């Protein structure tokens, strides 16, 4: 018992009926300042108030109302949360218990367990959960706008183009025909822009056919629009994965290739998509000008930090290896299993 008392990571205080500290283990002594520690041993019943910042009640996050120290036998104080201003780490939340262990002598024990790690884990969990909801909402809105552009706006523009083509056969006025032809060309360019915007917002191929089809379609547009040659290798064929994984893989690849086009000063990029040993791997490489780690170019969409965050949301890892004058290598690895994989093309 003495070894447990001396070596426990939980802070343990023993008090008498008057509030004088009878004993404290090393973990307890390391929490409070020397001045408060001295007051505790001298029997100051208010000494603990010097480091306590209140406990969590049903009504408030931190309160001193009906203090646990003055009502230790109350059932609500058998286990609760309290905040203490510590010696070296600032204010820390603790899981606390405060109860009488010897009613005749009035001896009470106050035990504290640091909740910092649990709070950080919980905070990270809620951050990730919120981020997933935000990304899901963004993608759903992108999908809605994409379909609206494709099914409504693009169709209306196409109808106008057809009407202009018919109009050419309804007049012999050369000046009018010239103007109609110019307008038709402008409308055709607008139609192509609308279709490209629709695909950029959310490619239908990603939802209907998966990563393989979405990547090949995206790379074809990049080559046609910008002349960027993309050397693409894949082993996935028609394999399908969960919507969240496919979306993150596609968005990270989209951003990485766009960054190479904008900043690397190259006309060729290598992309590979493979799966082995339970990991889905995306590798994007270029032999461009590179950059110094920490000096991320301004103006990127997701940015390297954004890509890192997305990787973490699905339990993946994201790494960037760049050397000035020797290019950049981006690697995204995401664990996949039977629960987040679906084979074949959906009906």
Out of 33-42, 90-99, 196-205, least confident range: 196-205
Final residue before a domain boundary, out of 175, 202, 229: 202
The domain containing residue 109 runs over which residues? Answer: 2-114
Query: Torsions phi, psi of 30, nearest 5?
Result: -75, -15
Beta strands in the chain (DSSP E): 11-15, 21-24, 52-55, 80-85, 91-102, 107-114, 229-234, 240-241, 268-276, 279-286, 317-323, 327-335, 341-342
| Percent of the chain scoring above 70 in pLDDT | 93
What span, in angstroms and rounded, lies between the C-alpha atoms of 145 and 151? 10
Out of 83-87, 119-123, 171-175, 323-327, least confident range: 171-175
261 and 318 within one domain: yes
Q: Within 13 A of 331's CA, how many CA atoms are on the CB side?
A: 11
332 and 236 within one domain: yes
Query: Considering all CA atoms of the chain, what is the largest pairwise distance in Å, rounded to the nearest integer?
Result: 114
186 and 315 within one domain: no
| Per-residue pLDDT tens over the stretch 43-80 | 888 888 888 999 998 888 899 888 888 776 666 677 88
217 and 346 within one domain: yes
| Per-residue pLDDT tens over the stretch 141-187 | 888 888 888 778 888 888 888 888 888 888 778 888 888 889 989 98
Q: What is the CATH number of the domain that holds 89?
A: 3.30.450.20
pLDDT class for 191, splitting at 50, 70, 90?
confident
| Per-residue pLDDT tens over the stretch 195-222 | 878 888 888 888 888 899 999 999 998 8
Final residue before a domain boundary, out of 61, 91, 114: 114
Final residue before a domain boundary, out of 84, 114, 144: 114
Length in residues, the chain:
347
pLDDT for the residue 346: 39
160 and 25 within one domain: no
Q: Is 331 helix (H, G, I), strand (E, B) or coil?
A: strand
Give every CB contact of residue 214 below 8 A, 6+ residues apart in sequence: 203, 205, 206, 246, 250
253 and 135 within one domain: no
pLDDT at 113 over 90: yes
Would you say 268 and 231 are in contact if contact means Cβ atoms under 8 Å apart? yes
DSSP state of 49: G
257 and 196 within one domain: no
pLDDT for the residue 59: 86
Q: How many domains does the chain fold into?
A: 3
Out of 3-7, 80-84, 220-224, 315-319, least confident range: 3-7
162 and 127 within one domain: yes
Q: Within 13 A of 115's CA, how many CA atoms are on the CB side?
A: 16
Residue 99's DSSP bridge partners are 109
Q: Within 13 A of 95's CA, how many CA atoms are on the CB side?
A: 10
């Amino acid at each position: 018992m003495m070894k447990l008392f001396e070596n426990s990571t939980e802070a343990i205080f023993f008090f008498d009926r008057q509030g004088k500290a009878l004993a404290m283990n090393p973990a307890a002594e390391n929490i409070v300042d020397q001045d408060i520690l001295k007051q505790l041993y001298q029997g100051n019943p208010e000494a603990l108030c010097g480091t306590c910042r209140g406990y969590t009640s049903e009504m408030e996050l931190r309160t001193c109302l009906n203090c646990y120290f003055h009502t230790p036998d109350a059932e609500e104080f058998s286990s609760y949360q309290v905040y203490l201003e510590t010696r070296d780490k600032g204010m820390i939340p603790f899981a606390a218990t405060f109860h009488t262990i010897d009613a005749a002598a009035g001896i009470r024990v106050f035990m504290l367990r640091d909740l910092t790690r649990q709070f950080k884990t919980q905070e990270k969990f809620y951050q990730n959960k919120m981020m997933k909801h935000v990304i899901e909402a963004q993608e759903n809105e992108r999908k809605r706008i994409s379909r609206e552009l494709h099914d409504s706006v693009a169709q209306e523009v196409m109808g106008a183009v057809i009407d202009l083509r018919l109009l050419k056969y309804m007049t012999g006025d050369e000046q009018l025909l010239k103007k109609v032809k110019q307008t038709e060309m402008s409308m055709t360019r607008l139609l192509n822009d609308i279709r490209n915007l629709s695909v950029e917002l959310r490619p239908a191929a990603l939802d209907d056919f998966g990563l393989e089809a979405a990547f090949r379609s995206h790379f074809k547009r990049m080559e046609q629009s910008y002349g960027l040659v993309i050397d693409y290798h894949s082993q996935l064929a028609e394999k399908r994965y969960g919507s969240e994984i496919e979306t993150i893989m596609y968005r990270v690849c989209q951003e990485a290739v766009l960054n190479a086009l904008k900043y690397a000063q190259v006309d060729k990029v290598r992309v590979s998509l493979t799966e082995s040993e339970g990991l889905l791997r995306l590798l994007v490489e270029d032999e461009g000008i590179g950059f110094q780690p920490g000096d991320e170019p301004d103006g990127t969409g997701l940015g390297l930090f954004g890509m890192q965050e997305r990787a973490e949301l699905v339990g993946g890892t994201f790494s960037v290896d760049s050397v000035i004058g020797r290019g950049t290598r981006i690697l995204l690895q995401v664990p996949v299993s039977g629960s987040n994989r679906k084979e074949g093309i959906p009906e």
